[in-house]
Structure 1
């Protein structure tokens, strides 16, 4: 079970506002040329001029709820700010208050199931999609990605390409939309299908792909801040390519090359997905590059051993924070809590130690981290051959046994009952089945839509994969 924790004393609007500054906002206006109304809405939403906070309409009244996205019929045509028209196909996903549609450039033909693009749509007054747009417009244009791949001699870079965005009017209402590459299944689903354990070779390959993506993001002045399996999607057409999605929490850590200072803010404590978020985030510090790599290290650990040591008490953010601090202070002990004495993957411990050595402003040694993971592949007589094999790793129960691919076995723990929302559950309980498509509000009863792991729409933290919004 994953719990997604938001800042305990700030609203999502104020939180998003903290992600922007005047300089970066000006660049957005220059590059995208949103129309006047959108600019005004965005300026208000992102608090660019820092106006006074709006007072509640009455004492004790909750803030106004965000509106749900209306489902558009297939064939609806949307025109982006570059005057390019896009035709919508069937809706294929929903996330909180937004919908995701198959799409293609406008033509006389209907949009088929083989469409190469998707369009995310939400009511314009909601605002959260703009947060993700900010990253995509600055860093994910096709020419930027192509140039980076060519310069760094990469065959693949797991960042979805941005193709356009704009506003659309229908029935007197306005909607904001964004066009990106269509992608496939997320790795959380694969993880559950594999019995919550990936083969060692696959884990190391995924680590290498993530290093490529994070280096690209970091060099474009952003950090992701929410790397996890549900935010990693396979390509729609190639199951051997994986993409990092969901830039709703992406943070510009170095606007115009000026690094942010380390500053703990109790109002932002425990931000992110609690089992993976960094120690910096637990302390309320703004995201940084070392935080991204710390998050990746927790992902690698979980994928290999099936469970992080603090997952039994995710309802207690302070406990999770302290457990991570203890783990960082004694990495050998952390590894022992995840693996048997004979099955500790040395490369993961070295990766953790390298990340631990980084300062808040330090540029990560990406190449050194790659070499550490490559050494792990070599130790199991494997190499990154470009093929992602999601065959479930066999679980061995004796200390002398290990997987044929070098996968360490899960370490046995005493079965403890933990109380979740008043119900006692076993930490080894079988994974919960997903909700049937259409079980959420958007789309109505019997809808074919599926929930998506996207921060571009608010409220998903309360709904996706059973995550629960907590305060500390």
Structure 2
């Protein structure tokens, strides 16, 4: 004969009973808690958290029920299987209204009941599982922090920073290092997905789309999705000229960079621009090859020189000389004009993406086109629309307010970012440099844009700020979203500042 138990008091009741003989509680068939006689080898029953969440009435258990449930949890003297069905409260319908006003004191009292204790035990077990999962996540390639468990990418970066490898910094100064040499206190670059990377062996051969073969030589650095190598053409016997091979996840942002170079930065297009604008140098990296190798997409660049961020990091104050800042910015404006006239914006101007050729200090390059955006396809400017893209993409410390809001970057975005960079290089920090919340950074930028004098005053504190920087920021912050900047005005602003220091724009850059 099947024996049932009353869910109200725990008293035994035969299957035919409609009411509990002990407390008179009505026994709905679908709410009966039953067990079956089994062999003496009893085991602890399964008790689920869902099952133990009963109505307020069932929580007011009697002493007899508590004893029964405690024995069920401990496994002593219980049957092999205890089936406790997750049921609808016996007080469903009209009964719910009756107990809807259960006081807070009653809820606190419930915490001491056996079923609540069991729930707490279950929650503790779940928490243990969560801790285990968190531990696993912390040991993924993008989250490991201990020296023994460093990921390949982090290990590569630490190799590049050791004293014996300090000389490699110049070699690593390439378009890839925008994720390979982050500055001190620099907010995280958003919009870059982390994946596990595996280093390729030296002497690995890459074949580009033109069937040119490139031999990987010295490993330089790595970041969260890719890596950087020194490379040579296999057809070159002397191997006097080296190149930089940048490899990244095949479907990652390197594909955006490749599209930019294919559409807007082919060597013949750049040369034609320089000739028509009487500009001897446009700081666009020379991409000499690209292709796919295994799970990576790769780009091959001519060596660019020294990464500007490495120069800043070597300075104790994290600053650059004023004359070098205006000189470099003058060259970057030339490059931005070229990019903008070819329907693109850069989208992530930082010191990590700017390079100065040591052999020819007049050469300043703007690299790292992971966030390049075609703002004016076929001559039609995109419409301003907040939330049309992922917000805060790029380096939060320097991106424009438009990018923070998820609007597509425009020409003023690049110029705004350059202005923040100039101020950071002059002062060593920005008012929001210590902030980690991108929304807080955005709000501060929004406030300061309406009061440039306050912005500069807070940044320079008691020091006098350069008038050239003030004029630059005032012009840029007053541009409308689709307005074409007057690059000549911007260049003249910086060239006048340089002239006061006895420097001509075409002079070599000294940093």
**1:135 shift after superposition:** 0.7
Counterpart of 2:231 in structure 1 is 103
Counterpart of 2:424 in structure 1 is 302
Distance 1:240 1:382 in 2: 13
Does residue 185 (structure 1) correspond to residue 314 (structure 2)? The answer is: no
Does residue 343 (structure 1) correspond to residue 464 (structure 2)? The answer is: yes
Partner of residue 371 from structure 1, selected from 473, 477, 492: 492
* TM-score normalised by length of structure 1: 0.65
Q: Where in structure 2 are there 5+ consecutive unaligned residues?
A: 1-184
Alignment of 1:62-461 (within 5 A): 66-74=195-203, 76-107=204-235, 109=237, 111=239, 114-122=240-248, 124=250, 126-168=251-293, 173-194=294-315, 195-235=317-357, 237-265=359-387, 268-312=390-434, 314-339=435-460, 343-390=464-511
SS of the residue corresponding to residue 300 of structure 2 reads strand
**Aligned-residue CA RMSD (Å):** 2.2
Which one has more relative contact order, counting CA pairs under 8 Å at least 6 apart?
1
**Native 8 Å contact 1:103 1:115 kept in 2:** no
**Native 8 Å contact 1:68 1:97 kept in 2:** yes
**1:97 shift after superposition:** 3.0
Q: How many residues align?
A: 326
Higher-Rg member (1/2): 2
**Native 8 Å contact 1:182 1:236 kept in 2:** no
Per-residue CA distance 1:7-61 (angstroms, 9 max, x = gap): 5xxxx57xxxxxxxxxxxxxxxxxxxxxxxxxxxxxxxxxxxxxxxxxxxxxxxx
Distance 1:179 1:237 in 2: 20
Distance 2:208 2:263 in 1: 17
Distance 2:389 2:274 in 1: 39
**Native 8 Å contact 1:186 1:231 kept in 2:** yes
Residues 97/6 of structure 1: CA separation in 2 closer, same or farther (3 Å cut): closer
**Native 8 Å contact 1:102 1:115 kept in 2:** no
* TM-score normalised by length of structure 2: 0.60
Distance 1:271 1:224 in 2: 12
Residues 204/135 of structure 1: CA separation in 2 closer, same or farther (3 Å cut): same
**Native 8 Å contact 1:67 1:123 kept in 2:** no
**Native 8 Å contact 1:253 1:288 kept in 2:** yes
Q: Where in structure 1 are there 5+ consecutive unaligned residues?
A: 14-64, 391-472
Distance 2:265 2:208 in 1: 16
Per-residue CA distance 1:51-78 (angstroms, 9 max, x = gap): xxxxxxxxxxxxxx7341441332x333
SS of the residue corresponding to residue 281 of structure 2 reads coil
Distance 2:387 2:494 in 1: 34
Residues 69/252 of structure 1: CA separation in 2 closer, same or farther (3 Å cut): farther
Does residue 3 (structure 1) correspond to residue 187 (structure 2)? The answer is: yes
Per-residue CA distance 1:414-472 (angstroms, 9 max, x = gap): xxxxxxxxxxxxxxxxxxxxxxxxxxxxxxxxxxxxxxxxxxxxxxxxxxxxxxxxxxx
Residues 144/332 of structure 1: CA separation in 2 closer, same or farther (3 Å cut): same
Residues 238/159 of structure 1: CA separation in 2 closer, same or farther (3 Å cut): same
Residues 191/73 of structure 1: CA separation in 2 closer, same or farther (3 Å cut): closer
**Native 8 Å contact 1:240 1:387 kept in 2:** yes
Return the structure number with greater helix share.
Answer: 2
Moved segments of 4+, more than 4 Å:
none
